Amino acid sequence: MMNWEMVAGCVMYAPSNKRSFRSNGGPMNKTERLKYCIGCRNNFYNDNNSLDIKECWSLKDAKMVSKKEVHIDQVPPWTQKPIRLLSCFHRDGFWYVEPDRIN
């Protein structure tokens, strides 16, 4: 099920904040991590291309982090709630700041 949020006046997909680890406390497997790649500009490299590239180079070392997604045209204060995403996640037109940062 996809989680949609309103950020800077735009409706967009935001990975669910509920699963940074498996229910047994272990790290996520590759399939679970790939769910957090949806919307990232580098998701193209996760076997979503005709170049025979099977995996994004950042996926292996990516960690789950909480960040605020800030649109490039959004002026402070940034009061939106942080979202859980992979540390390598990038979306055109947005940047990601630490959750305690408001300007």
Q: What is the pTM of this model?
A: 0.69
What is the tens place of the pLDDT at every residue in 54-81? 999 999 899 999 999 999 999 999 999 9
pLDDT at 48: 84
Q: Structural domain of residue 32, as residue ranges?
A: 28-97
**Per-residue CA distances from 91 to 23, 25, 27, 39, 85 (Å):** 28, 29, 24, 7, 12
Most confidently modeled range among 19-23, 27-31, 93-97: 93-97
Instruction: With respect to residue 5, please indicate whether it lies within any of the assigned structural domains.
Output: no
Predicted local distance difference test score (pLDDT) of residue 25:
54
* Structural domain contains residue 12: no
Calculate mean pLDDT across residues 84-102. 94
Residue 36: inside a domain, yes or no?
yes
Q: How far is residue 67's CA from residue 32's CA, in Å, rounded to a whole number?
A: 19
| DSSP assigned state of 42 | G
Is 66 within the bounds of a domain?
yes
Mean pLDDT of 16-43: 74
pLDDT, residue 8, reads 47
58 in a structural domain: yes
For the chain, how many structural domains are there in total? 1
**Inside any domain, residue 69:** yes
Query: Could you tell me if 46 and 59 are in contact, meaning their C-beta atoms sit under 8 angstroms apart?
Result: yes
